[in-house]
Amino acid sequence: MRYYKQCLTILTSLAVLFFYTACSDNDGEKKKGKIDEFTEKTGKKMVDYIKIPLDKAQDATEKANQRNDGLKEFEAERDGK
């Protein structure tokens, strides 16, 4: 259910951004408007929303692998004596 709400929120925000950009006047100026700033800010939030949990999971995996390697070394030393 939570995943559904997140997808719905993302799709709704993208649809709103699409309609705002389609209706805005474009005089050829390259100034950042409020819509562009909002789009950029929202995009960064979406990237962080996805990237931060992935980074945390990767860090946890690395720590678990280090812990397993340490246990293997300990067992090898114990069995070798």
Token readout for 35 is 């819509």
For residue 43, the enclosing domain spans: 2-80
pTM of the entire structure? Answer: 0.45
Distance in angstroms (rounded) separating the CA atoms of residues 15 and 21: 10
pLDDT tens-digit profile, the chain (81 residues): 677 778 778 888 878 777 777 665 655 556 778 889 999 999 999 998 899 999 999 999 999 999 999 999 988 888 875
Can you spell out the DSSP letters for 29-71?
Answer: -----HHHHHHHHHHHHHHHHHHHHHHHHHHHHHHHHHHHHHH
Domain count, the chain: 1
